[in-house]
């Protein structure tokens, strides 16, 4: 059996991550949690946890859960890819909004501000682990309550860290970014490619 796999397991429900992998010519199979796994609890921040430490820790936990899932299901060996994205305004972690009101509060806080978007990526293969973090800055336009309300009404902010998707309508508010556009979407191209190559995947 060849030690160079031609696909990866993606332990993420994000369609954006699947789309990015497809754009890069990386074939993936989904490795999603079982019904009895409490995947959401992994994303709970610890008291006074710094955003960069949080995103690394959560991604590492997701990877270990996925590696255990792979073994439990007896699936064919291949690298497992996990990622987690967090938005931070100063030391404040802005996760996925609980509801529309929470989304409006987050967006009001981001209005006219520069915030950080960190995406941690981790790959596991057998006993080996590789990890990296993309750290970008995003500057938003000033957002009126009306613009925020209309955006939240589209439903796009729900399920998104920081209550927005840069590849969607919120991209119209971005004055400038410094960092990785794909990292802000949820899977940084450069870092992901480096890790997948390290795990033996053929990738340009």
Q: What amino acid positions are annotated as catalytic residues?
A: 84
* Structure-token pair, residue 90: 């100063």
Q: In terms of C-beta density within 10 A (0-12 exposed, 13-18 middle, 19 or more buried), how is residue 109 classed?
A: middle
Q: In terms of C-beta density within 10 A (0-12 exposed, 13-18 middle, 19 or more buried), how is residue 123 classed?
A: buried
Q: 198 and 130 in contact (C-beta within 8 Å)?
A: yes
Q: Is 179 helix (H, G, I), strand (E, B) or coil?
A: coil
* Structure-token pair, residue 200: 């033996």
Task: Please identify which residue in the block is written with the tokens 């064919």.
Answer: 76
Rounded to an integer, what distance in angstroms lies between the CA atom of residue 96 and that of residue 108? 15
Q: Is 100 helix (H, G, I), strand (E, B) or coil?
A: helix
């Amino acid at each position: 059996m060849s030690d160079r796999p031609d696909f990866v397991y993606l332990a993420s429900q994000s369609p954006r991550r699947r789309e990015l992998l497809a754009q890069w010519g990386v074939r993936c199979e989904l490795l999603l949690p079982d019904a009895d796994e409490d995947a959401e609890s992994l994303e709970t921040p610890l008291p006074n946890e710094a955003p960069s430490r949080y995103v690394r820790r959560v991604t590492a936990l997701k990877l270990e859960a996925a590696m255990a899932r792979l073994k439990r299901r007896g699936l064919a060996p291949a690298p497992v890819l996990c990622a987690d994205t967090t938005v931070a305004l100063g030391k404040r972690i802005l996760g996925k909004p609980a509801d529309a009101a929470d989304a409006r509060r987050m967006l009001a806080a981001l209005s006219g501000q520069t915030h950080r978007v960190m995406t941690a990526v981790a790959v596991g293969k057998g006993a080996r682990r590789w990890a990296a973090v993309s750290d970008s800055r995003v500057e938003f336009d000033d957002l009126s309550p009306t613009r925020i309300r209309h955006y939240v009404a589209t439903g796009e902010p729900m399920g998104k860290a920081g209550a927005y998707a840069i590849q969607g309508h919120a991209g119209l508010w971005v004055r400038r970014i410094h960092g990785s556009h794909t990292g802000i979407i949820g899977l940084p191209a450069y870092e992901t490619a480096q890790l997948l190559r390290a795990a033996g995947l053929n990738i340009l």
